[in-house]
Structure 1
Amino acid sequence: FKAVATHCHVSVNQVIRVFKEIKYSRPTTLPPVLSIDEFKGNAAGQKYQVILTDPESHKILDILPKRDTTELAKYFAQFPRYIRNNVKYITMDMSLQFRSVMRDSFPQAQIVADRFHLIRLITFALERVRKAEQNTLSNVSRTFKTNKRILTKHFKALTDKEFTKLMDMFHYSPRLHRAYVLKQAFSRVLMFKDKENIQWAIDQWLSLVASSELPEFKSLLKTFKFWREEIVNALTLPYSNGFTEGCNNKIKALKRCAFGIQNFERFRNRILFINAKKGHATITSHVLPKSA
């Protein structure tokens, strides 16, 4: 606001008054591909807000005040059924709450788990093994602590020096070796594109997890069973939460620059203003003076 006021030679209060008159209405239609995610907004006494985007046209559709199952259901119920039936795919992270709401609101749509969050599950499981070995093998704990980034690199991308350090960790910890093999094996699952082969590859990988005797990976058996359809969709369909996550990063930058925005309507307007050229804003009253 201060930057705009300086540029337009008006007071900050006048800029704020004008900005208050910018109204972004609820979208009247929904796209064939809909993306939903949460972000830490801290506005209007709520810790989290919800963002809806169109990942194909790269447009922010709306910002919802709170992550509440009832409120989300009420919001989507405002759209006629024929509009909701136009939504064919919904991308999201692996949130049980979001999945429940979206299944009820969009019975015709396929839910697509976000690939990034899927891969992160395997990376986190590997990291839990590394931390456990670091705490157990205290005499060589520094080896596991300083070389943890090597574990996240693809095996073929390792330098000779990194390969040597990796072998040192495997020498001290056969458990970490098994966990690393599981991670690398999952990267081969991602190579398949058709549904039949992906399902076969997932089953083969889960059998490796079951026989690995790694408690840190056992929770993935339940996750993959519970999210089977959404995971297969993630690996066969070209949709993801990538654009939405990018919007969340812009929102974080906005919050830092503004030192937080407590007023939700102002916060919502400012976020939707990011997509102003593609948005649906109307100015209801006074505008900036001609000198601006």
Structure 2
Amino acid sequence: MAIFEIPLDIPDVEIENVELTKKGDIIITVVSTVEGTHCHKCGREIIKPYGHGKMIKLRHLSILGMNVYIHIRPVRYQYTHCDGNPVTTQTLNWYNPRSPHTKVYGEHILLEMVNSTVEDVSIKEGLGYDAVMGILHRYIDTEVNWDRIERLDTLGLDEISLKKGHGDFVTIVTSRVAGKTTILAVLKGRTKETVKKFLYSIPKRLKNTVKAVCSDMYEGYTNAAAEVFGKDVKIIVDRFHVAKLYRNDLDGLRKKEIKRLKKELSEEEIKKMKNVMWILRKDVDELTDEELEVLKCLFRHSPILELAYKLCNDLTDIFEDDISKSVATCRINDWKKKVKESGLKCFNRFISTLDKYMDKITNYFINRQTSGFVEGLNNKIKVIKRRCYGILNIKHLFQRIYLDLEGYSLYA
């Protein structure tokens, strides 16, 4: 029978015995090669042996599909120069005393959980659901550990609903540094006071590294950031939230015009304008010849919609251009003037929003920062919620977001 060897890769032990059980499990019995430990009462080094503790059984990484268990009886030491002559059990650094698994096996489970579910990992590894959750809780914090963060640069604030249709909102706080998104908090609710309390809790050394805060136009977020950081940090209203508003106005006009045209035109002519809603939403440069013909047909019957469409694209072009904040402000004001001169009423509400948030909207042009990274994370969170059949516990949600973002870099 051919034999090959695999290094155990566990430090400070010698293998005493290897056994293959009838169930097909591998049991490796080891003994410590480290002499002494530190007194659990006074912390001093002790070297006087005092027997052994109970046998510890630890799940380890599988070999060739077979479950592996490490058995070790830890050495106990007594310190006679400490009050009560305390006895301390030696613990080696490759396992935690109260964990039924080696550390490397725990990290393996966490890696398996990235983009997966507790239930799936439980089935694949033959572990109980609670055992997998126990590993998650032992290794992954339920809130941010500021000591692991060097700087913040750009903060993102956005909300998601834990239960669709129930308005059960939580606030997602993130940071963006050198193209990397980090989860900072999942806060219950979205009030200004809740967000302020968290922002004030950021250590001073990190607060000083914040250059900008990106958000939508929700005043609870923008006002909280302004009150905490003052004028030294730019508050940026995300350009894509702005675009959504004026494109919604265009879509509102489309609905009115299509309703009118259905009364005035033949069914055959209406069919020529099929899928016009999606065509109007596409980038002009990405339109096919067939789609351009659909627009020509539509605009022939609705000049007012053509005008609104061109104005929308004009505003988009402003945001696409690499210009300064001051130039952008002038061009947006010129755009507003064109809208008023056109006689169009569909953009009235949007223009009021522009007037109110102009400074925060045009802050985008300083460094062309958006909260696109927040939206990207929100999409990931939606996947996590679907994958895990809904997560209502915000501490658990924080753990799962953190693991999906950091798991590969930490444990791969």
* Among 138, 144, 152, the residue aligned to 1:26: 144
Between the aligned partners of 2:405 and 2:289, the Cα distance in structure 1 is: 46
Between the aligned partners of 1:10 and 1:134, the Cα distance in structure 2 is: 59
Query: Counterpart in 2 of 1:287?
Result: none
Query: Counterpart in 2 of 1:50?
Result: 171
Larger % of helix: which?
1
Pairing 1:87–2:210 present: yes
* Among 208, 218, 229, the residue aligned to 2:348: 218
Pairing 1:153–2:271 present: no
Closer, same or farther: CA 222–145 of 1 in aligned 2, 3 Å: farther
Query: Counterpart in 1 of 2:327?
Result: 197
% identical aligned pairs: 26
Between the aligned partners of 1:267 and 1:184, the Cα distance in structure 2 is: 39
Pairing 1:276–2:406 present: yes
Does structure 2 retain, via aligned residues, the 8 Å contact 1:55–1:241?
no
* Among 229, 248, 253, the residue aligned to 1:124: 248
Report 1:101-180 matches (<5 A).
Answer: 101-107=224-230, 108-139=232-263, 140=265, 146-180=275-309
Number of aligned pairs?
Answer: 279
Query: Counterpart in 2 of 1:16?
Result: 133
Between the aligned partners of 1:10 and 1:81, the Cα distance in structure 2 is: 43
Q: 1:16-36, CA deviations, whole angstroms, 9 ceiling, x for partnerless residues?
A: 233334423334366121111
Does structure 2 retain, via aligned residues, the 8 Å contact 1:85–1:109?
no
Structure 1 unaligned regions, length at least 5: 281-292
81-90 or 138-147: which moved more? 138-147
**Corresponding residue SS for 1:26:** coil
| TM-score, scaled relative to structure 2 | 0.62
Between the aligned partners of 2:242 and 2:314, the Cα distance in structure 1 is: 14
Between the aligned partners of 1:181 and 1:64, the Cα distance in structure 2 is: 41
Does structure 1 retain, via aligned residues, the 8 Å contact 2:273–2:294?
no
- How far off its partner does 1:277 sit? 4.5
Pairing 1:3–2:120 present: yes
- How far off its partner does 1:110 sit? 0.4
Between the aligned partners of 1:34 and 1:274, the Cα distance in structure 2 is: 19
* Amino acid of the structure 1 residue aligned with 2:222: R
Q: 1:136-157, CA deviations, whole angstroms, 9 ceiling, x for partnerless residues?
A: 2223465556322221234444
Over aligned residues, Cα RMSD in angstroms? 2.5
Q: 1:118-177, CA deviations, whole angstroms, 9 ceiling, x for partnerless residues?
A: 222221111111011122222346555632222123444433322222111112112201
Q: 1:167-197, CA deviations, whole angstroms, 9 ceiling, x for partnerless residues?
A: 1111211220111111121133132422232
Does structure 1 retain, via aligned residues, the 8 Å contact 2:235–2:360?
yes
24-33 or 240-249: which moved more? 24-33
24-33 or 161-170: which moved more? 24-33
Query: Counterpart in 2 of 1:290?
Result: none
Does structure 2 retain, via aligned residues, the 8 Å contact 1:49–1:63?
yes
| TM-score, scaled relative to structure 1 | 0.85
Does structure 1 retain, via aligned residues, the 8 Å contact 2:214–2:370?
yes
Structure 2 unaligned regions, length at least 5: 1-117
Pairing 1:207–2:325 present: no
Query: Counterpart in 2 of 1:67?
Result: 190
Q: Which has the larger radius of gyration?
A: 2
Between the aligned partners of 1:167 and 1:242, the Cα distance in structure 2 is: 33
Query: Counterpart in 1 of 2:310?
Result: 181
- How far off its partner does 1:231 sit? 1.4
